Structure 1
Amino acid sequence: MSVDIVLVDSAVLLLMDVDIVLVGSVILLLMDVDIVLVDSAVLLLMSVDIVLVDSAVLLLMSVDIVLVDSAVLLLMDVDIVLVGSAVLLLMDVDIVLVGSAVLLLMDVDIVLVDSAVLLLMSVDIVLVDSAVLLLMSVDIVLVGSAVLLLMSVDIVLVGSAVLLLMDVDIVLVGSAVLLLMSVDIVLVGSAVLLLMDVDIVLVGSAVLLLMSVDIVLVGSAVLLLMDVDIVLVGSAVLLLMDVDIVLVGSAVLLLMDVDIVLVGSAVLHLMDVDIVTVVPPP
């Protein structure tokens, strides 16, 4: 309705007040769109609700620019962006470069980049890969299979790098050092962690971000946790709040008052869930 010009294929969609546009086998559900370049293209969008690009769905609200593929997401006030098999849960994001890219973020809640999760609050710049984290007032940063629990960090170089930190509680990098406070016993291997008031524990390639944990059995084991914020088990991230019991494996998550649970490449948005059966990936 009220379309000015639509060039289909490696083309430009100059649209105003378009409801639906079929481009190839793709449907663009647009509202008040200015320009949409589809393929290796640029989406110059304003006040778009939903955009289906390839096999990906962009759930956007008040988006300025979205470059899809090896692209740049210039976003403002975006709720959710699905790019490839990754989900970006963003709030008030300025710029997100997805790939071997740079995340210029402000006031971002959660960013899923590849199989890594960035739990950021008030972050200035994050370079993901063999990159540099220029952070200010960051709570948690997951880079690769490593987790940085940081508070008021100035600069973190991740890789064969330097950690220039100020006011850091614990930093576990690689098969690194456990800087713990008030730890009772730590058995590392196919062992049991009997911990009280531990901030970070690196076990194998897994990182347990724990707060006030009673008992943690690491292996094909059971996590009996109370008041745990985040638990990284394998390549899965459990973002938990007030969890009673978590059985990790081909197991059952008995959860209460859980906000988000990332299991494998799947995201479970849960609120007040009693039981969740998790099927391991093939």
Structure 2
Amino acid sequence: MGPSKLQIQLDSQALVLTLKNANPYVGEAVHSIARCKKILEETNWQFEVHHIYREANRAADLLANQGVSQNNNIEAIKEVVKGFPRPTLNLSSAQFSEVVNSAFEHPLFPPFDPYRNSINYLLASYLIPYVGLTGYVGTIPKLLSVESRKLVAGLLAVKSGQDAVIRSLLYQRRLQRVVPYKITVQEFTNRLSKLRNKLGSDLGSRDEGIFVDQKDGAEGKIKGNILVGDENSLGYPRSPIEVLNIVYGSGDPKKVGGFFPKGADGYIAQSYL
């Protein structure tokens, strides 16, 4: 089974018109564009070509760069931890929709689709990196090996940067409504953070959206909340159990599901199964 539907988003209006056969192109890339058109026309795919503004494309570019860095992270981990099988991941639209429904405590209609547009994709990306970040903060003090501490500290630095980029992009759009719902980006992040708090543990807040009450902001003075921290503006820690509770979506490290339908691998995760 291959792809059957394709949505192409480009920040060049001229190229969009060319691919739609509405505008002839005679520039230096004419042969490349002609080949792209030929490939599209020879497939059985249902495809659409849309123009988007460069701002939206920038968000996609940043997220793509983060995806590449994740591959490098895995290689670094394999050099220190001699490896265990990668767990099965469920990154389907249905899974993200289920999480969002849990966050709002009722089904959204139509179901939330993380791959529909850049805003939805950013919100979906908001879900996971921060959980890993807090997991690293909680893990480092418990590591005995200098080599392991060095590895996790390096991973934490990159994960923190990724989370800051995602939160910054969402903060810029905090009052924008998430199509087709009458719900702002700000409300989405608040709901998702509350869900992670609820699933994680009963030890108090470890999570905050991109906009908070002033009393909960840094030094009790600001409402904008791009960088999440405790009363001392230090990163929140989470234990391995808390991380599993969240990524399984069950609040129980013994009950697999969510993004890890067969459970996570590694000694700690497997010890609960």
Which one has a larger percent helix, Structure 1 or Structure 2? 2
TM-score normalized with structure 1 length: 0.27
Which one has a larger percent strand, Structure 1 or Structure 2? 1
Structure with larger RCO (C-alpha < 8 A, sep 6+): 2
